[in-house]
Amino acid sequence: MKFKYYFLYIILGACFLNISCKKYLDVPPINIVNEADLFSNASGMQLYLSRMYSQMPFEDFKYSPARQFFDDWLVTPGTNEGSSLGRDAGEAMTSEGWARNGAYWTRAFNLLRDANNLIEEFPAYKSNFSDEEFNHFVGEAYFTRAMVFYALAKRYGGAPLATSLLRYPPEDGKPLEIARATEEETWNQVLADFDKAAELLSESSPVKGYVNKYVAWAFKSEAMLFAGSVAKYNTFTGFGQKTKVRVVGFDPANAAEASKKYFTEAYKAANIIIKSGKYSLYKKKGGPGDREGQYQNMVDMFFDASSPENIYTKDYKWPDLAHGYDSYNIPRQLMGGNGYSAGNCPTLDFVELFDGIEKNADGTIKVLDNNGKYLLFDNPTDIFANAEPRLRAYVIFPGDMFKGIVMDVRRGVYTGSVAGGIAPLRTVNGSTNYTIGGPQTYNQTDAYTETGAFAGNKSLFLSQNGTTHELVTLPDGSKMNGGGINGPFGTSDMTAAFTGFMVRKWLNPNMAQALVLEGRSEQSFILMRYAEVLLNAAEAAAELTLAGASSPDGDDLTTAAYEAIRSIRERAGAEPLVGISDIAGAQGLQVIRKERRKELAFEHKILWDIRRWRTQHSDMLNGFTQADGAYYRGLYPFYSSVAGKWFFDAGFEEARKRFRFTQLDYYFAIPQGEVNKSPVIDQQPGR
């Protein structure tokens, strides 16, 4: 109370001294930087843009499907898309943002206001800058607005198109609230803003971290692929109850033409970058036939700041801005002081996408011989000896080297007879069952429980977690734990390689173990790279060909798609395409999609791909769809102490993480509080 009265006396005293109270209260605080200061020179603009970039909806090391943007907690790119599983996967509901559903809806409009303010108010300060500087800064605003509308459109469909400042009190009768536009109008705004950004931005980024024309074209190609896919493949459409506007989906009468328009724009934007010659695939260490060089290229490209493939990166530097990717995803064997590890475990389903692995007729990895007995290997890495180098650069295999150390991944030790071969382990009461109803964990099997054919003869030894082990005495008298240091340990410990694999991509190979801590990693996140642009061009070209559309630049579309995919596969060490026919027609489109799933895994790209293709809910996976509730598979290495060799068991992963997703989930719900208080904001149809 004393402070309250003291302040009142100061104000009254000022009035008694013939100083207008209104004037006194209108004096701007001297410790706050105002707009005139920021818009007066390049340094001030750097502060303004820093604020905008801090809110940019970039999906990087501080983004996860579970928690959305700006969060550095157990980030595991790849979960929910089928490439990997993790503790933080959100498997019960794969609609992005299950932990913070709808959070981006409210945050988006703060950044939109900053962008619109720059577009509307900055021209008054044009004389402070050269024409090039002025245009670039306005281009930054249009790029920002395009990114915000893009982030909204792919989550919600139709969005309120706030393309000017909303002021209070309202000016010229402008409403303070804007209703949601149609989804088509929203995508058209994304297109217009990216085009305006590319028109105004500089050829090269004037400051590291700023965007440029090529960044705008690259993200435009990505966004227009999304728009074209939704226009073509989406079957769920509906109107808002308040405004009767088609807030999700396209009008069936013009969806096909809209799709061709967007695919054309995607192809044109990608082709500008390709034909510029400004970027190229990273191939510093080796070319075709040099498998070790190809592997090293696919590792180094994510850490080399001079990479010719990088179009746009989000940079980090400790202590001011760092992230925790290494801490959350490091193999358990190299665990840091925070106690996290192996948060991102690639699935066998993902691994089987790659070339060079011996497979059965149905495309699954071959682990049994023609007599139904396990294939035996001298080393656990032998089963992947001929796999394309790109896979090894993305995934840590059992027995592979990382940071100069052999990665110990072992599900168990088998001590039974090898005469006549080793029969499949997932047997209970004498019946082998690899269906979802079979044994969930290996400690339920006959070989472990001494039942069935193993009555009184325990032949399988396991480790239940990282500290409780069953020991096996090997023929040379040495001891071996049932499980490897990295597991897998069944369902009791989710800090181990519970699918049999660990992620390799993005992990810093030179980071000291003592520094593997939360908020200590510094590697950049590549938000856009040339390989994606090639893939965007290939997919857009294939879609235009299927639609019977002509090439926007006169090039042969099938040839353009073929060259893009050929170059990516060559760099990756994949098997060469037989010929241009591999990329032709509907089957060719599937080849391109598969290449995307391999090349762009763990980059926050594939989840959006399977959503824009509208296949996430319906693709069959191990006998299920995500509409049913889908399960993924793992590959589990075992050591035969009698044979002195390794074998692998392939089947449903033991944690039984189940992923559910319905058509309704392609559009996220608007926060109900926003709908309740607004006379014009519509909830999603069906919600």
In a domain, 429, yes or no: no
Which pLDDT score is estimated for 496? Answer: 92
In a domain, 211, yes or no: yes
> For residue 253, what is the domain's CATH number?
1.25.40.390
Which pLDDT score is estimated for 3? Answer: 31
Which pLDDT score is estimated for 220? Answer: 99
The residue among 183, 156, 190 whose CA lies nearest residue 254 is: 183
Q: In the chain, which residues have pLDDT < 50?
A: 1-27, 92-93
Q: Are 258 and 250 in contact (CB under 8 A)?
A: yes
Its domain, for residue 551, covers 538-600
The residue among 674, 90, 679, 92 whose CA lies nearest residue 687 is: 674
Which pLDDT score is estimated for 25? Answer: 40
In a domain, 452, yes or no: no
In a domain, 423, yes or no: no
For the chain, the residue count is 687
Which pLDDT score is estimated for 103? Answer: 72
Which pLDDT score is estimated for 536? Answer: 98
Domain tally, the chain? 2
Domain boundary (261, 277, 293) is at 277
pTM of the model: 0.93
In a domain, 382, yes or no: no
In a domain, 518, yes or no: no
Condensed to tens digits (0 to 9), the pLDDT of residues 325-341 reads 999 999 999 998 888 89
Which pLDDT score is estimated for 285? Answer: 94
Condensed to tens digits (0 to 9), the pLDDT of residues 624-633 reads 998 998 999 9
Which pLDDT score is estimated for 12? Answer: 32
The gap from C-alpha 381 to its chain's centroid, in whole angstroms, comes to 27
Which pLDDT score is estimated for 14? Answer: 36
Which pLDDT score is estimated for 13? Answer: 38
Q: Residue 577 and residue 568: Cα distance in Å, rounded?
A: 11
Q: Residue 499 and residue 252: Cα distance in Å, rounded?
A: 43
Contacts with 195 (C-beta within 8 Å, 6 or more apart), sequence order: 220
Domain boundary (600, 627, 645) is at 600
Q: Residue 513 and residue 50: Cα distance in Å, rounded?
A: 33
Q: Are 430 and 452 in contact (CB under 8 A)?
A: yes
Domain boundary (557, 580, 600) is at 600
In a domain, 545, yes or no: yes
The residue among 174, 173, 156, 153 whose CA lies nearest residue 165 is: 174
In a domain, 205, yes or no: yes
